[in-house]
Amino acid sequence: MNDLRGVVRQKSEADEASTSPGVRRVRITVAHAGQRVDNFLIRELKGVPKTHVYRILRSGEVRINGGRVRAETKLNEGDEIRIPPVRVAETPVHLQLTSAFPHEIIFEDTHLIVVNKPSGVAVHGGSGVSFGVIEQLRMSRPDAPLLELVHRLDRETSGVLFIAKTRAALVGMHDTLREKTGDKRYLAAVKGEWVNDRQHVKAPLAKFTQPDGERRVRVDKDEGQFAHTVFNLLERRPTISLVEAELKTGRTHQIRVHCAHLGFPIAGDPKYGDLAWNKVLKADGLTRMFLHAKSFEFEHPISGETLKVEAPLSPELARFWNGSAIE
């Protein structure tokens, strides 16, 4: 009886290729080698909800070289991936994004794209956000073989955002970020009169979850990971200061938490800022957090050339700082 069931299973799988035209078998090229299978599928199955992509992975409907895979499985050049038939929503949320990319591109070559990300825009979909910068870019360039985020920016933060167009550039930029060989700088307006012209802050950071489920970060000397920020004073006023932050490590919410820890919360910060002060600032014209990824100097991962990309300060932040009644 067991042998008969095995024969039936083999027959149904063999027949599937001819009876299920919706099944696709894709051969992985060098452009996608090293990519996680879930990320590959999310890009390949445009318009399909991420929850459904992970469902077909868990169910075993997606196979690589005939075998079941996990979401984190890395693809190799030459792999054959079986993609089951899936139903795309009749009106995908991405439909509105099939035209031109809506954000400013400040640098592009054959390997990298650098975007000046606006505040209020997520870098990727998830956590209640249908789409972000990377989905918008992919929809505007459907024939691009590879478009992957090199790093993240908080939704409220504007400025320099790197996207890789080749696997070699992605790996190379990850090496740059991991080895801290690049020079990444931010602009922030903070509450109070900043004291030192140049100040090193080394305060370990740990993630935690609040009772309402919101994820936060705090300074934690016992369980936190090493975090290092260098602050340079640019302009000091009686109740507000403008500083430049050099990131020596890249922890989640690092600048925001370090500023709050020092007693100089970032203007407009909804998580770690002074909420009463934020209301005063809003009346004075600041409707977002004053944190901007200003520049990044780095060695190009392919050419080896030293480059510096800079994102101009957004008009709303420039107007606030130059015309603010806050002194």
pLDDT digits (tens, 9 = 90+) for 144-183: 999 999 999 999 999 999 999 999 999 999 999 988 899 9
Give the dihedral sign, CA 29/37/250/310.
Answer: positive
Is residue 253 a contact partner of residue 217, using CB atoms and an 8 Å limit?
A: yes
Lowest-pLDDT range of 4-18, 145-159, 197-211? 4-18
Lowest-pLDDT range of 128-132, 153-157, 213-217? 128-132
Is 216 part of any domain? yes
Instruction: Determine the structural domain holding residue 140 and report its residue range.
Output: 97-163
Residue 51: per-residue pLDDT: 81
Q: Where are the beta strands (DSSP E) in 177-263?
A: 183-191, 198-202, 205-209, 215-219, 228-236, 240-247
Is residue 37 a contact partner of residue 71, using CB atoms and an 8 Å limit?
A: yes
Mean pLDDT of 123-143: 81
The answer to whether 183 is a known catalytic residue is no
Residue 180: per-residue pLDDT: 86
Task: Kindly report, residue by residue over 117-126, the tens digit of the pLDDT.
Answer: 999 999 987 6
Residue 31: per-residue pLDDT: 80
- Give the active site residue among 38, 79, 154, 274: 154
Co-location of 204 and 315 in the same domain: yes
Residue 164: per-residue pLDDT: 97
42 pLDDT more than 70: yes
Co-location of 77 and 106 in the same domain: no
Is 142 part of any domain? yes
Element holding 176 (H helix, E strand): helix 167-179
Co-location of 254 and 187 in the same domain: yes
Q: How far apart are the C-alpha atoms of 68 and 46, rounded to whole Å? A: 22
Q: Burial code of 98-133, b = ≥16 C-beta within 10 A, e = fewer?
A: eeebebeebbeeebbbbbbbbbebbbebeeeeebbb
Task: Say what percent of the chain tops pLDDT 70.
Answer: 87
CATH classification of the domain holding 44: 3.10.290.10
Q: How far apart are the C-alpha atoms of 202 and 183, rounded to whole Å? A: 17
Q: How confident is the model at residue 130 (pLDDT cuts 50, 70, 90)?
A: low
